[in-house]
Amino acid sequence: MKPARGMTPGDADRLVAALVTGRGPSPDEQVTVWFAELAVGEREITVDQTNRSVVVGDRAIVKWLLHTDAAGHPAPDRLQALLSAGFTAMPRPWGLLHQVDPTSGALKLLAIVTEYLPGTQDGWEWAVADVRAHVRGAESGALTAPIAIGVLTAQMHVALSCTGITDATEAQAQTWYAAAGHDLAEAIALVDGDEGARLRPLESRIKESLHPISECVGTPLIDVHGDLHVGQILRTNAPYAYYVTDFDGNPLQTAVERMQRQPAARDVAGMLASLDHVGRVVIHRTPDVDEAKVVSWIAMAQEIFLDNYREELQRANAEHLLDERLLGPFQVQQECREFVYSVKHLPHWRYVPDAALPALLDRLEAPA
pLDDT of amino acid 71:
78
Q: State which amino acid sits at residue 87.
A: F
Q: What is the DSSP letter of 213?
A: G
Answer yes or no: do 315 and 250 share one domain.
yes
In the chain, beta strands by DSSP E: 29-33, 42-45, 52-56, 60-64, 93-100, 107-115, 121-122, 166-167, 220-221, 233-235, 242-244
Question: Which of the four pLDDT bands, split at 50, 70 and 90, describes residue 4?
Answer: low
Q: Are residues 168 and 257 in the same domain?
A: yes
Question: Which residues does 337 contact at the CB level (< 8 Å), separation at least 6?
Answer: 183, 187, 252
Task: Report pTM.
Answer: 0.95
pLDDT of residue 102: 85
Please report whether residue 330 resides in a domain.
yes
Measured CA to CA, the distance from residue 178 to residue 184 in angstroms comes to 10
For residue 49, the model assigns a pLDDT of: 62
The DSSP-derived string for 51-96 is SEEEEETTTEEEEE-SS--TT--SHHHHHHHHHHTT--SSPPEEEE
Q: Which of 115, 135, 150 is the last residue of a domain?
A: 115
What are 94-152's pLDDT values in tens digits? 999 999 988 888 899 999 999 999 999 999 999 999 999 999 999 999 999 999 999 99
* DSSP three-state, residue 218: coil
Other beta carbons within 10 Å of 108: 17
What's the pLDDT at 68? 77
Q: pLDDT for 64-105, tens place per residue?
A: 998 777 778 999 999 999 999 999 999 999 999 999 988 888
Same domain, 171 and 291: yes
pLDDT band at 159 (very low <50, low <70, confident <90, very high): very high
Q: Has residue 2 got a pLDDT over 70?
A: no
Say yes or no: 228 and 131 in one domain.
Answer: yes
Cβ contacts of residue 366 below 8 Å, gap of 6+?
A: none
On whether the CB atoms of residues 126 and 141 are closer than 8 A, the answer is: yes
303 located within any domain: yes
pLDDT of residue 162: 97
Per the domain annotation, does 1 fall within a domain? no
Give the mean pLDDT of the chain: 95
**215 & 278 share domain:** yes
Cα separation, 241 vs 228, whole angstroms: 18
- Binned at pLDDT 50, 70 and 90, residue 1 comes out as very low
> How big is the CA angle at 262 (ends 303 and 61), to the nearest 5 degrees?
85
If phi > 0 it is left, if psi is from -120 to 50 it is alpha, else beta; for residue 257 that is alpha
How high is the pLDDT of residue 192? 97
Q: CATH number, domain at 262?
A: 3.90.1200.10
Contact present, 267 and 101 (Cβ < 8 Å): no
Q: Which of 56, 83, 115 is the last residue of a domain?
A: 115
Range of the domain at 322: 121-365
- Please count the helices (runs of H) and the strands (runs of E) in the chain: 12, 11
DSSP 284-330: HHSTT--HHHHHHHHHHHHHHHHHHHHHHHHHTT-GGG--GGGHHHH
CA-wise closest residue to 15 among 58, 61, 50, 78: 61
Contact 189, 83 (CB under 8 A): no
* Among the ranges given (7-11, 68-72, 302-306, 317-321), the one the predictor scored with the smallest mean pLDDT: 68-72
From 73, 93, 115, give the residue that closes a domain. Answer: 115
**How much is the pLDDT for 240?**
95
Q: How far apart are the first and last CA of the chain?
A: 63
Res 168 pLDDT > 80: yes
Overall domain count for the chain: 2
For residues 179 and 254, the model is more confident at 179
Residues 89 and 106 in one domain: yes
Work out the percent of the chain whose per-residue pLDDT is above 70.
98
Domain check: are 43 and 24 in the same one?
Answer: yes
Question: Taking 60 as the threshold, does the pLDDT of residue 44 lie above it?
Answer: yes
Place 3 in a pLDDT band, splitting at 50, 70 and 90: low
| Position 26, amino acid | S
Do 247 and 334 sit in the same domain of this protein? yes
**Residues 273/278/282/285 CA torsion (nearest 10 deg):** 90
User: Prior bond to 239 cis, omega within 30?
Assistant: yes
The CA-based dihedral angle spanning residues 131, 136, 140, 141, taken in that order and rounded to the nearest 10 degrees: 30
pLDDT-based confidence at residue 50 (cuts at 50, 70, 90)? confident
Residues 235 and 280 in one domain: yes
Domain at 103, CATH number = 3.30.200
